[in-house]
Structure 1
Amino acid sequence: MADPDLPSLVRRRLLELNITAEQASRLSHWAVAPETIEHLAAGRRSGLVSDRLADALARALGVPENRVRRAAGLPEVPDPRESIETTPQLRLIKGGGSSG
């Protein structure tokens, strides 16, 4: 699913992960400053998103880099994980309390 723009992606992921901009910055190993994340979320950052920022922001938000690149209007990069097929691995068990 393509995101309409970068600010909405940043806001939504911070909300989904229930983290602050500072915590997201920590997840990227401080490669992107908390202030930059806040400005992106608010739509106040001007200028283009660089390749380096797209990679760091993807780590901060816990999403594939191409998701950030699409939202920022950048060309996608080859992703070796793209060819991995996944299937649901969880089973729902009625009453799902502790076992034993």
Structure 2
Amino acid sequence: MTDRPRSAPMPAVLRAGRPPRHPALAVRCPHCAAAEGARCTTRSGRVTKTEPCPARVAAWATATAVCPTCQVLQTYPCRDNHGNELPDSSPVHPARYTEAGRPAA
């Protein structure tokens, strides 16, 4: 038998029990319809995603932060230079994700 140290330091993530939850879980997912606090699901309903859907992260950023790029208030969608809403492919300016507390995915 080998002689090993018995008290190896445990990572903080394991000590806490779970990794920190994404703050976007506080809003309902507009893509997969996952409830507030529940993880996002696949189309068949399996809870296999580790990160929330991009649409949920965008909805969270829209609900919690004022956009520093286009100066719209919370809950209002981002706008381009002509006052039109941004397309669904990128509905939120990257600076709004940072303002909300997380970098853009």
The normalised TM-score by structure 1 is 0.30
Structure showing the higher helix proportion among its residues = 1
- Rg (Cα) greater in structure: 2
The normalised TM-score by structure 2 is 0.29
Greater relative contact order (Cα < 8 A, sep 6+):
1
